[in-house]
Chain A
Amino acid sequence: MSTAAAPSMEHGTSSFGVYNLKLGMWVFLLSEVMFFTGLIGSYIILRFANPDQFAVPGAVLNVPLTALNTFILICSSVSMVKAFADVQAGNQAGLKKWLLVTALLGMVFLGIQAIEYTVLASEGFVPMAERYAAHGRAGGHETLGGPLYGTTFYTMTGFHGTHVSIGVACLWWCVFQAYRGRYTANSHGGIEIMGLYWHFVDLVWIILFTIVYLI
């Protein structure tokens, strides 16, 4: 595995035998864990304090569609693993194919999220506390939940979506680089760290989906 900072790595004293890019990505992901913990922790506190402001699962949010979306994201993690396996084996065609699949699945995920947001907003489920008026998927005049529901939902899923978007942009960059032949069996750190980031984003979604949609 090659590294980004070549000269000293050849005679450096590294503790974990992990090259710079990879170590850097792990360290960065640690900070991301803390970020989402802050958001999710706040959600849990706010929800315990005001349970009446959070509607019954499924009443407002489209659980089946989002479950499909979750499956799509998990599939994209599988395709990412396949891309990594292929580059390790020197299979350039496979690398390009699976990177493309991952990027496209990521975009599908974002698209479905966008559709969900639009539908929810039209049903009155918005983050602005003053304008919150969610009537739920079944329709009706009763407002389900309270302003905190919209506030927390959009903030958490929105930041996750932002991270996915950045990931998709990086994936397209990887595709571009792959087509230029930048990744070889001996030098593919960029693919490995892309994979690490992508799996992290997937993991956060699984947690979010469980907490926000199912519970």
Chain B
Amino acid sequence: MSTAAVPHDTAAHAQAHHEHIPFIRKYIFSTDHKVIGIQFMFMSLFFLLLGGLLAMAMRWQIAFPYNETAGFQGQPLPGGDLLPETMVVQGIMLPEFYNALVTMHGTIMVFFAIMPLLVGVWANYLIPLQIGAPDMAFPRINMMSFWLAFGAGLLMLASFAVTGGAANAGWTGYTPLSINDLYSGVKTGQQLWALSLTILGFSSLMGSVNYITTLINMRAPGMTWFRLPLSTWALLITSILILLAVPVLAGGLIMMFFDQTIGTNFFKPETGGQPLLWQHLFWFFGHPEVYILILPAMGFVSDIIANGARKPIFGYHAMVWAIIAIGFIGWIVWGHHMFMSGMNPMLGGFFMVTTLIIAVPSAIKTFNWLGTVWRGNIRFHTPMLFALSFVALFVIGGLSGVPLAAAPVDIPLHDTYFVVAHIHYVLVGGSLFGIFAAITFWFPKMFGRTMNETLGKVHWALTFVFFNLTFFPMHMLGSGGMMRRLYDPTQYPHIASMQDTNIFITWCALILFAAQLIFMWNFLWSLFKGKLAGENPWEANSLEWTAPSPPPHGNWGDRVPVVHRGPYEYSAPGATADYQLQTEAPTGQPLPATH
């Protein structure tokens, strides 16, 4: 296959024998993995925006609470008069509404924004393209997976409108608060929460069955396991984690739903149930879940850094084994979320050790990323900027994880803003930056147009600066004893003294949120007016860059790609260019077009 972009020939050839498909079958109820990936993208970006909006409301309350006795007059919530009296009264939000905001921010961001953005979008879009397959193994199940997720999203949104409002027991939904509306004040909202997540779980499971089967069975000739890009490897391990962890959550959610609706007593202590059982079930899922939320981003970052540095990824095999190790060890660390639940200290010690051990493969990956850029011919394009800052921010997030992993140190830090800082460094500095890297990198392939580089760099710079300004001070707040999910920090003198920090964080958060509008503008504008992209604008190696931008239905038509080399042959000595597509023949000469 020629390394020069020949979009028209390949597109025409690939589409030669496809008949006209009606609009609804082509774009709405599509079974094409690329369309489904893009559908997930639009849905998740909407939820990302919504989740951010909820956080802004939260931050407003934290910075400007109404506390007469302590001398805080509060500030009316912007837009608060649009909300009913059950949520906001005379501009000041009610504590119950604050708890709902906290809960829904977490739930929406984790389940409806980050997870689908990493898996629903990229597993669907990239896997067949990177392995050389025409589509997924089960295209109709794939379509069902999106529409189930969409339905789950509608249910979650609906919960804002029911009596009692949305769920307010935290995104972790601890029992008995989440099953007893006498304590929480929310009945239907919590039921919808459990139901929505169960349905979303089915969606994820269907997806992972598809991804795993496709990856094992449908790789193009020559695409051996150790020629897969790290994005693909990460998505494979992530899919296995989803496959095995989500059913446990589903079981727990069903038990919770039964407790809420038909009166069973799985988690009700009054009649012998065990509230702690929920914590175990949730976190047994919850810990693999956080690796689900980071591994794909690590994969994308590896591919983008190698591409941006024009060098092979340092230690490819070690990177693969590190991903597998993280996936494996991630099953035996869940207790570190429960150090303060009253468990036997010996058990706490076990979880502490396993949690500290899992830092090792992550560290290996970090050093390998550094080894990749070392003496590289670095191109500082927008994806590369996001990928490099991913490494830095993920390291900070990982470092704050170490004191949290040490059980005795967790005692004062548990449920404080130190944890909030940690999770946002890994989820935003890590996952979200990885997502931005991926979107800016694969946008040309998806839509046939490039995003604006200047806007991309401005968005990156503002996001990077204000992300750090927003979340780094939270380490101090947490060490200073500020608790999580706190409606009014000023009610405690030891926290009221840190209120200036809270106000500073809120302003930075508002600017951070505003900066995302640049991304939104860039994304939407480029969809229609972006410069047309060729097949391989980043001069990358993996198979997706041999297909047209965007690829037609079936990706390569009749011409199945044949793989001759790994995905990281950048700056190979003796090669004609500083990159070599995986389909390039072993002699280094391009194959004739008729192959």
By a beta-carbon cutoff of 8 Å, the part of chain A in contact with chain B is: 4-5, 7-9, 11-16, 18-20, 23-24, 27-28, 30-32, 34-35, 37-39, 42, 45-46, 49-50, 53, 127-131, 146-148, 150-152, 154-155, 159
Contacts and interface: CB of A to CB of B under 8 A. Distances in A.
B247 A151 contact: no
Given A129-B263, A148-B265, A31 B209 contact: yes
A31 B244 contact: yes
B272 A5 contact: no
Contact of B248 (A8, A35, A127): A35
Interface in B100-152: 132-139
8 contacts: A9-B217, A31-B209, A31-B247, A127-B258, A128-B262, A146-B271, A147-B271, A155-B254
Interface in B205-226: 205, 208-210, 212-213, 216-225
Given A30-B244, A146-B272, A46 B266 contact: yes
Contacts of B264: 127-129, 147, 150-151, 154-155
B248 A37 contact: yes
Contacts of A28: 205, 209
A155 to B, nearest CB: 6
B265 A151 contact: yes
B220 A8 contact: yes
Interface stretch (B157-165, B273-281, B298-306): B273-281
Interface in B337-395: none
A18 B274 contact: no
A11 B212 contact: no
B266 A34 contact: no
A150 B222 CA distance: 56
A130 B262 CA distance: 10
A209 to B, nearest CB: 19
Contacts, number: 151
A42 B274 CA distance: 10
Contacts of B133: 8, 12
B567 interface: no
Given A13-B222, A13-B223, A24-B137, A31 B246 contact: yes
Nearest to A49: B274
A24 B209 contact: yes
Contacts of A32: 247
Task: Give me the 5 closest cross-chain CB pairs, A-B, nearest first.
Answer: A38-B251, A35-B247, A128-B263, A129-B265, A151-B264
B220 A38 contact: no
Contact of B262 (A8, A50, A127): A127
Contact of A13 (B219, B262, B274): B219
A122 B213 CA distance: 47
B243 A31 contact: yes
Contacts of A30: 243-244
A53 B270 CA distance: 13
Interface in B495-541: none
Contacts of B218: 5, 8-9, 12, 14, 20
B250 interface: yes
B273 A34 contact: no
A41 B74 CA distance: 49
Given A34-B247, A35-B250, A129-B271, A155 B216 contact: no
Given A38-B251, A45-B280, A155-B254, 13 more contacts: A5-B137, A5-B138, A13-B221, A14-B216, A15-B216, A16-B216, A27-B243, A31-B247, A34-B243, A34-B248, A42-B266, A127-B262, A151-B266
Contacts of B220: 8, 11-13
Given A8-B218, A11-B560, A127-B263, A46 B277 contact: yes
Contact of A20 (B208, B213, B250, B266): B213
Contacts of B50: none
B138 A24 contact: yes
B252 interface: yes
B476 to A, nearest CB: 39
Contacts of A31: 205, 208-209, 243-244, 246-247
A19 B250 contact: no
B272 A8 contact: no
Contacts of B402: none
B309 interface: no
Contacts of A53: 272
A31 B255 CA distance: 18
